[in-house]
Amino acid sequence: MNYQSEKVVPYDTNEKKGAQIEQMFDSIATHYDSLNRTMSMGLDISWRRKGLKLLGEKSPQEILDIATGTGDLAIMAHGQLHPKKILGVDISEEMMKVGKHKVESLGMADAVSFAKEDCMELSFDDNSFDAAMVAFGVRNFEDLDKGLKEIRRVLKPGGQLMILELSTPRQFPMKQGYWIYSRLFIPTVGRLVSKSKEAYTYLPKSIEAFVQGKEMVEVLLKNGFSEAKYKTYTFGVCSMYLATK
């Protein structure tokens, strides 16, 4: 199935979405963390914490962090869940360079590692991980169904997938307020700080185009997951999905 989000790309080129996403994140890697905190007003920290609390109920020991970026979720998971191993994977080498530096400075290098991987075709064996997680990355998937199937493949039976994703509020007045915030504030600040007009124009468009709520639960179930459910945070600005293999 083709999803609208798969057609939203950062650049007006003929390259595949995955290649454009890699280029985009490589270009903003050094500014990403500061911009992320500014644009979410620090709320992304509490969203991560809440999602990890639910993921941690089964005490996973080997965790795969998909679209790890600069490693924020992996670092938080290490401190909050205390697993034996967390592997962060991403297609952007520049983002992971920032993540590796953070992990090393925090003395976590023995427990948190990074590898370049395309989630459309992961290199891991079937049934390799107790849990997987994706923070604000599934809307960037080139092929959502294929990516979810790959994540499910590498999960052990009973393993859980936790997804955090930005979403669009549907109730007045948050819906109207968020439209102004995403269409004016995000592109303006992003362009000024990162010098990348494309990245922060792409962001709100990709959020609007992505499936959310009950529709996303149906997508997870269709791709072989069970017991899929979701919660929203901050009046619908962020959605959390939890599904089991």
CATH number of the domain residue 125 falls in: 3.40.50.150
Structural domain for 162, as ranges: 4-244
Lateral strand order in the sheet of 129-135: 112-116, 85-90, 62-66, 129-135, 155-166, 238-244, 226-233
Average pLDDT for 12-36: 91
Whether the per-residue pLDDT at 75 is higher than 80: the answer is yes
Instruction: Identify whether the C-beta of residue 51 lies closer than 8 Å to the C-beta of residue 164.
Output: yes
State which of 42-51, 73-82, 176-185 shows the largest mean pLDDT: 73-82
Q: CA of 236: how far to CAs of 33, 134, 186, in Å?
A: 22, 18, 17
Give pLDDT tens digits for 110-150: 999 999 999 999 999 999 999 999 999 999 999 999 999 99
Q: CA of 198: how far to CAs of 73, 160, 245, in Å?
A: 25, 34, 36
Residue holding tokens 């979810």?
148
Whether the per-residue pLDDT at 176 is higher than 70: the answer is no
Amino acid at 21: I
Q: How far apart are CA 231 and CA 151, in angstroms?
A: 21
Count of domains forming the chain: 1
